[in-house]
Amino acid sequence: MENTFTGTGANFDGKETRFKVWAPHAEKVFVAGDFNGWNEEANPLKRGDDDYWEVQVPKAAPGAEYKYVIKNGDQVLWRNDPVARAMTNSAGNSIIVDDSDFDWGDDDNFQLRGWNELVIYEMHLGTYHRGDDKQTVGSFDDAIARLDHIVDLGVNVIELMPVAEFAGDQSWGYNPAFPFAIESDYGGVNGLKGFVKACHERGIAVFIDVVYNHFGPSDLDLWQFDGWEENGKGGIYFYNDWRASTPWGDTRPDYGRNEVRQYIRDNALMWLDVYHVDGLRMDMTFYMRSVDDGADIPDGWSLAQWINDEISQHHPGAITIAEDLRSNEWITKTTGEGGAGFGSQWDEQFVHPIRSVLTEQDDCNRSMDVVAGAIGFSYNGDPAQRVIYTESHDEVANGKSRVPTEVDEYDQEGYWARKRSILGACLTMTSPGIPMIFQGQEFLETGHFQDCHEMDWASEPHEEGVRNIYRDLIRLRTNREGKTQGLQSGCLEFIACDDENKVICLARGEGDNQVIVAMNFSKDERHGYRIGFTQSGKWKVIFQADAKVYGGDFGDTATIEVVTEPESFHGLPQSATVNLGSYDCIILIRA
C-alpha cells in the first residue's frame, strides 16, 4: 500500500534511523535516547533551509526510546517527537517503530462495501471487553476475542472511538496527546494492526475517530514545542490569537500554517496507509471551521477539503465522515462544488427529533410529522450522505442517558423502555441513511456511558430477545437473504403519516424489490389497520418487533401474510389490513 508520508519523525531503514523534526525557533536540536546513553549533545541535528532538522543515527534501532533536546536561548527543552508512532505512555518517551515487522497477509484485498450497505457499530475499545484478568482497560486483543459477537449481529463496520495516545489510561480518547502514536494501554502499533486484520478476516471494516479541532490539552509536548509563543499561547503548532479558543482550551491547531496543515494531513493518511483502516470519522468539524461564537476559520475548511481530496486520490474506496451537527449540506458536497468533500456526516436531523419522540411520555404529543421529517431528510438528495442513530457516545453521556433510561428511569429494563428503544432501532435500520448503533444498545444497556465501566456482557443472556431483534434487523438492512434490497435503496415513499392513530407507513425501493414498513408509535394495538399498497398480490410479514420470540411479554399480533384488495386507500390503488402491536414495527415483502 502506498505510503504518503513526508518523512518527519524517526524513520528506520533496516540499518539506521533518520530523525527529522520541525523546530523553526530552535538554535540547536539534539536527539537523546537509549542508543547514546541519553546524552543530550551526542547526536546533533542539522537545520535545513525549511527549518526542519535532520540526523542519521546508526545505533538507533526499533524499540529504542528517545526524545529531542531543543535549545532556544536559555531554554533547554526535552520534547517527545510530534510524530512519535509509539509512546511508553503519554508522559513518557517516544519509541522507534518498524512497520515491516507485521505480516498483513492478503489484507490488501479487503474492500469496503458500498456505502448503502454499511451498518456501523461504534466501539470504545477500553470498555468493550476487558478480558479475564479484569484489567483497568480493554485492549485490541481483548476486543478481538469478542469479535464473534459483532459477526453474529451482522454488523459490517466497527467505528473505533479515538485510539491515539491520550493522557492517562482511561479516556473517551478525544484528548489526543500524541496524534500519531497508538494508545499504549490498548496494545500499541501492532495491537491496532492485529485488530484491523482480524476484523477484515471476518468481513468487518474499521473506521477510526480522529480529532483535529484541538489537541490535548494535557500531556501535550506540542505546546510551545520549540520555546516560541505569542500571547502566552501554544506556539508553532497552534493559533496564538483569538482563533486558539476551543471548548477544550486554547488548543486549536494553526490550520493556516503549511507545516501544521502537512502534519494533520499526514496523520489522516497514516491511518489508511499504515493501519489499513477503511474510513475516518472526523470529530466536531464545526470547531475546525469556526470558533465558539461562529466566526469562520476559512483555513480549517480548506484543510478539510485538502485531506478529503488526498484520501480520495490515494484511497478511493475509503469514506470520510464528519461530525458537524449543524445540518450543513456543504459538508458533504464535493470539493469541486466548493464543499468540504466528506462522504457522509452524522445527522442531527435524525437523532434529535427521533429521541424526542421516543422519550416523550404522552402518546398524544408524539408527532408523526416530526418522525416523517427525520426519516425523509437527506443531504444533497443522497441518503448515504448521512449517518443515522439514536445512541452515540455523545447522546448517552454529557447529561444524557441511554434511550431505555430516558424512556423510563424507574423501570429501565421494563416493557415500555424495551418497546420504545426497540422502535428506535427499527427506525434506524429501515430509514434512508447509514445506520449506526452504539456498543451495548443490543443488550439494552441503561444509564449513561462511562469510560471506567466495561460493557455489561452479563446482560447478554438476559436480553437475548433484544439482541436477536438487532441481529434480525441488521440482517434485513444488509439484505443478507437477498429479499430486502429495498432497504438499501434511495427510494422512499410515505404511504401513511397518521397522527391520529400514531402510525407511519413507508415504502422503500421499487418493483419486486419494494419493502413496506409500518410502525405504531402508540401503546394501543392497531388491529385491522388498513394501509395502501402500490402493488397487488400477497405480501409476507418477515419481521414484527412485537413477536414473542423477542420478548415473552410481547403481544405477537402480526398477520403472517396479507392479500391486497382493489380498494383505494392512502391514495394508492390497492390496500390491505395489518395488525400492529404496541410500539410495534412490521416489515413486509412480496410473497
What is the side-by-side strand order in the sheet with 538-544? 492-498, 503-508, 515-520, 585-590, 538-544, 561-563
Average pLDDT score over residue span 363-391? 98
Residue 463: give the domain boundaries: 121-477
Gap between the Cα atoms of 396 and 392, Å rounded: 6
pLDDT at res. 133: 66
The CATH number of residue 541's host domain is 2.60.40.1180
What residue type is 107 in one-letter code? D
pTM metric for this prediction: 0.97
Lowest mean per-residue pLDDT among 21-25, 461-465, 469-473: 461-465
Q: Measuring CA to CA, how many Å separate 356 from each of 361, 407, 438, 500?
A: 10, 10, 18, 18
Q: In terms of Cα–Cα distance, which of 129, 274, 116, 267 is closest to 196?
A: 274
pLDDT band at 122 (very low <50, low <70, confident <90, very high): very high
Q: Answer yes or no: is 423 within a domain.
A: yes
The CATH number of residue 364's host domain is 3.20.20.80
Same domain? 259 vs 330:
yes
Query: Which residue's entry shows cell 525557533?
Result: 25
pLDDT at 324 over 50: yes
Last residue of a domain, one of 477, 501, 522: 477
pLDDT band at 69 (very low <50, low <70, confident <90, very high): very high
Residue 537: HSE in the Cβ half-sphere, 13 Å Cα cutoff: 11
Q: Is 153 left (phi over 0), alpha (psi -120 to 50) or beta?
A: alpha
Report the share of the chain in percent with pLDDT over 70. Answer: 99
Q: In terms of Cα–Cα distance, which of 485, 392, 501, 487 is closest to 440?
A: 392
Same domain? 294 vs 443:
yes
Average pLDDT score over residue span 11-29? 97
pLDDT at 1 over 60: no
Last residue of a domain, one of 477, 497, 517: 477
Q: What is the DSSP string of 217-255?
A: SSS-TTTTTTS--STTS--TTB--SGGG-BTTBS--B-T
Gap between the Cα atoms of 347 and 444, Å rounded: 23
Gap between the Cα atoms of 86 and 84, Å rounded: 5
Structurally, how many domains does the chain consist of?
3
Crossing angle of helices 415-430 and 464-477, in 10° steps, is 10
Gap between the Cα atoms of 271 and 276, Å rounded: 7
pLDDT band at 3 (very low <50, low <70, confident <90, very high): very low
pLDDT band at 436 (very low <50, low <70, confident <90, very high): very high
Gap between the Cα atoms of 541 and 402, Å rounded: 30
Q: Is 528 left (phi over 0), alpha (psi -120 to 50) or beta?
A: left
Same domain? 522 vs 415:
no
Crossing angle of helices 415-430 and 348-359, in 10° steps, is 160
pLDDT at 426 over 80: yes
Q: Answer yes or no: is 106 within a domain.
A: no
Gap between the Cα atoms of 378 and 332, Å rounded: 11
Same domain? 428 vs 557:
no
Same domain? 293 vs 370:
yes
Q: Answer yes or no: is 114 within a domain.
A: no
Gap between the Cα atoms of 119 and 346, Å rounded: 13
Q: Answer yes or no: is 198 within a domain.
A: yes
C-alpha cell at 115: 456505502
Same domain? 359 vs 231:
yes
pLDDT at res. 134: 60
Same domain? 135 vs 266:
yes
Q: Answer yes or no: is 107 within a domain.
A: no
Mean pLDDT (the chain) is 96
Q: Measuring CA to CA, how many Å separate 414 from each of 349, 404, 474, 497, 546?
A: 28, 9, 23, 28, 14
Q: What is the DSSP string of 360-395?
A: -S-GGG--HHHHHHHHH--BTTBGGGEEE-S--TTT
Average pLDDT score over residue span 481-492? 96
46-61 tens-digit pLDDT = 999 999 999 999 999 9
The CATH number of residue 24's host domain is 2.60.40.10
pLDDT at res. 557: 86
Number of residues that make up the chain: 591
Query: Which residue's entry shows cell 497514516?
Result: 270
Report the share of the chain in percent with pLDDT over 90. Answer: 94
183-240 tens-digit pLDDT = 999 999 999 999 999 999 999 999 999 999 999 999 999 999 999 999 999 999 999 9
pLDDT band at 482 (very low <50, low <70, confident <90, very high): very high
Q: What is the DSSP string of 396-422?
A: TSTT---HHHHH-TTSTTSHHHHHHHH
pLDDT at 359 over 60: yes
Q: Answer yes or no: is 182 within a domain.
A: yes
C-alpha cell at 237: 503548532
Last residue of a domain, one of 477, 497, 529: 477
Q: In terms of Cα–Cα distance, which of 551, 521, 580, 544 is closest to 414?
A: 551
pLDDT at res. 4: 53
Gap between the Cα atoms of 512 and 510, Å rounded: 6
160-176 tens-digit pLDDT = 999 999 999 999 999 99
514-530 tens-digit pLDDT = 999 999 999 999 999 99
Q: How many CB atoms lie within 10 A of CB 566?
A: 8
Same domain? 210 vs 144:
yes
Same domain? 466 vs 522:
no
Q: Answer yes or no: is 112 within a domain.
A: no
Residue 178 backbone dihedrals phi, psi, to 5 degrees? -135, 95
Average pLDDT score over residue span 56-82? 97
Q: Measuring CA to CA, how many Å separate 438 from each of 94, 187, 303, 336, 425?
A: 33, 22, 29, 34, 11
Same domain? 516 vs 370:
no
pLDDT at 2 over 70: no
Same domain? 272 vs 333:
yes
265-284 tens-digit pLDDT = 999 999 999 999 999 999 99
Q: Answer yes or no: is 111 within a domain.
A: no
C-alpha cell at 373: 421529517
pLDDT at 461 over 80: no
Q: Taking a C-beta distance cutoff of 8 angstroms, is the pair 21, 10 a contact?
A: no
Same domain? 57 vs 160:
no
